[in-house]
Structure 1
């Protein structure tokens, strides 16, 4: 009757799905208790009580909204869907609002009025309200869009010292961002995405994460030069999710990551092939004790999992460069063994291989070895293997020139930029 929904990033439960009968019961009880007022054109609340929580789901209720406006003075939360954007009232009179969710809504009038809500704790919007620095009680701001016309918002963000959860979308990297984040000592979750521009290199190297950091995702915005010194098990005991790009990574760094006691999700992208760091990696026994999802991207072959490593891992994605022996790596193409059988909880494995200087037979043998390893695993995990060839100029021009050499029965998976 009640099904938990797990967060895609760290595997934690963050919501639930209920049966239709349970949903009908929840709606009925919510109306009786005046828990939430829903305006959707069909199931509107007709009560004359003060509105505490308002959900605007349809733009067909102008009359109902007009009747409800006078009962919004004590509203604690307002959630508006884009289809109901025309119904959003002026919010400056709702001085006790704690939560405002306007994701996907373009509301120039409402977002000028938001800055007067001094008690606001949670804001979800894609449009930056000018003067957001006045909202000094803000603890959560989700998917704040910043473009060339709103770069001055960084000065306002520096004032939000109570911030704990901050998700930002940038058109391109902003050099003022690092200075701003250094003024937010209570950050627990930080996600930064660059939508169009190139990923910055080294722009985050000077940042030091607070000890209570739980989630960090900057992989789609910037490259760390190497693994930061603050990524340390004695400093980040609460870290559950980490998604970063690191230019240069060595075995000692992977060993440090493996000691993070609470880490449940790891996404790490490296640039070792372009830097000609042709070393393999070993995930040792006892490392990554809580990890449930792992993605290792652009690693040079091989990554080997020893018995006792990643004992809770369910989902594994490997993106590997597989080089010929003359490049200094004496590996038998037909005898590949990643140690997948040493991962007792494995349910899903996806491997993407890029070859340099390998024959078609070499490729088929490697694919067959990986497929055999997945099929022989006691859990019989779902597996997907894709392959491709690198052009010789990949080292000079990055990873944008890839030639598909995928066999007929395997679906290619590429998405480099």
Structure 2
């Protein structure tokens, strides 16, 4: 009856769904029990006097719609679809709302109609994605600063606003933080260097919006004991930083982008025994040389992506049999390896260098594991020019 929806890369359950026939039954029972009220302009029966959960799907000028929007004093959850966006202002009487989802509703001309949000003291979830209110960015950020109980924040910026750092410093209970910049906007550098993450942080994804100058001091196991998801961009990375990250006990997903190619940092990195004990998926980007894995490192790693691997520097980690000694055989749970080769740039590689690098990487992925159970690998080498 209830079917799980699995992630494509980590096999974790991200959502649930039901069969269409079961969905029809749920809708029928929900209507009979007054569990949810759906207004879509097709049902001509009057809704119940008490509306707890409302799905407002279309706006039609009829008395049923008008009656429903006037009886929202006890509503706990309201979802408004774009076709009913003109009725958003009628929600000001819903003072006990816990969930308000306005995703996709074009509110660029109706920002003033959202002033009632500050009176929704019981609100636990607010969805404003795609509502086209970045025209009042400063005011919105100032309002966010007042939401000191906020646990999750997903925000896309047209450009960086200095007030946002001040705002983030006030949100001491933050658990999930996703930050993006508009496509084509250049990422800022160092604007989050002064930020100290809350101790309860569980998900941090900022690599699409800004660069940290160096690895933040608060990213260490003594301060963050329950951080399973980390996606950041760091301008300069050192071996000690890799060691520190490897001691984060709960981290299962890591996306780490560096700028070593542009900075001319030619050093390689080693992932030592016991590092990254819970990691399942790992994505390294713009390392001049890929990391070398020692036996006992990343015991649960299934998926490894190395992006923009600089081909001219593969000679420095070549093995005696002509392969590339990455130590992939030391990763007992590895199922998939994907490497994107970088041909151009300083000391550009020839086509023959590219061919040899691909062959060497395939050889490394096919190498027998050292005292480990058999594994299946997905080997993909692709040519990537910047």
Q: TM-score, normalised by structure 1?
A: 0.80
Residues 323 and 364, structure 2, Cα contact 8 Å, conserved in 1: no
1:187 and 2:177 aligned? no
The 5 A counterparts of 1:347-362 are 347-355=335-343, 356-362=347-353
Residue 30 (structure 1) aligns with: 30
Residues 99 and 126, structure 2, Cα contact 8 Å, conserved in 1: yes
Deviation at 1:313, TM superposition (A): 2.2
The 5 A counterparts of 1:187-336 are 187-195=174-182, 196-324=184-312, 329=316, 331=318, 334-336=322-324
1:52 and 2:52 aligned? yes
Distance 2:150 2:196 in 1: 16
Flag the 1:194–1:41 CA change in 2: closer, same or farther, 3 A. Answer: same
Deviation at 1:59, TM superposition (A): 4.7
Deviations 1:75-110 (A, max 9, x none): 001112224434546111111111110011113164
Distance 1:182 1:42 in 2: 48
Residue 385 (structure 1) aligns with: 381
Distance 1:152 1:70 in 2: 29
Flag the 1:318–1:23 CA change in 2: closer, same or farther, 3 A. Answer: same
* Residue among 165, 168, 190 paired with 2:155: 168
Distance 1:60 1:383 in 2: 56
Flag the 1:330–1:50 CA change in 2: closer, same or farther, 3 A. Answer: closer
Flag the 1:82–1:311 CA change in 2: closer, same or farther, 3 A. Answer: farther
Moved more, 157-166 or 167-176: 157-166
Distance 1:210 1:26 in 2: 40
Distance 2:161 2:101 in 1: 25
Instruction: State the SS of the aligned residue for 2:260.
Output: coil
Residue 132 (structure 1) aligns with: none
Flag the 1:367–1:269 CA change in 2: closer, same or farther, 3 A. Answer: same
Deviations 1:126-179 (A, max 9, x none): 478xxxxxxxxxxxxxxxx77464223333322221121111111011122111
Moved more, 374-383 or 234-243: 374-383
Deviations 1:16-69 (A, max 9, x none): 122223323322332232221123455788652411111123456855423422
* Residue among 122, 128, 131 paired with 2:125: 122
Residues 291 and 313, structure 1, Cα contact 8 Å, conserved in 2: yes
Higher strand proportion (structure 1 or 2): 1
How many corresponding residue pairs?
A: 373
Residue 371 (structure 2) aligns with: none
Residue 13 (structure 1) aligns with: 13
Q: TM-score, normalised by structure 2?
A: 0.86
Flag the 1:388–1:344 CA change in 2: closer, same or farther, 3 A. Answer: same
Residue 139 (structure 2) aligns with: 152
1:68 and 2:55 aligned? no
Residues 89 and 114, structure 2, Cα contact 8 Å, conserved in 1: no
Residues 316 and 349, structure 1, Cα contact 8 Å, conserved in 2: yes
Instruction: State the SS of the aligned residue for 1:318.
Output: strand
Q: Give structure 2 stretches of 5+ with no counterpart.
A: 369-373
Deviation at 1:257, TM superposition (A): 0.8
Residues 258 and 287, structure 2, Cα contact 8 Å, conserved in 1: yes
Residue 140 (structure 1) aligns with: none
Flag the 1:238–1:116 CA change in 2: closer, same or farther, 3 A. Answer: same
Q: Give structure 1 stretches of 5+ with no counterpart.
A: 129-144, 390-401, 403-417
CA RMSD in angstroms, aligned pairs only: 2.9
Instruction: State the SS of the aligned residue for 1:90.
Output: helix
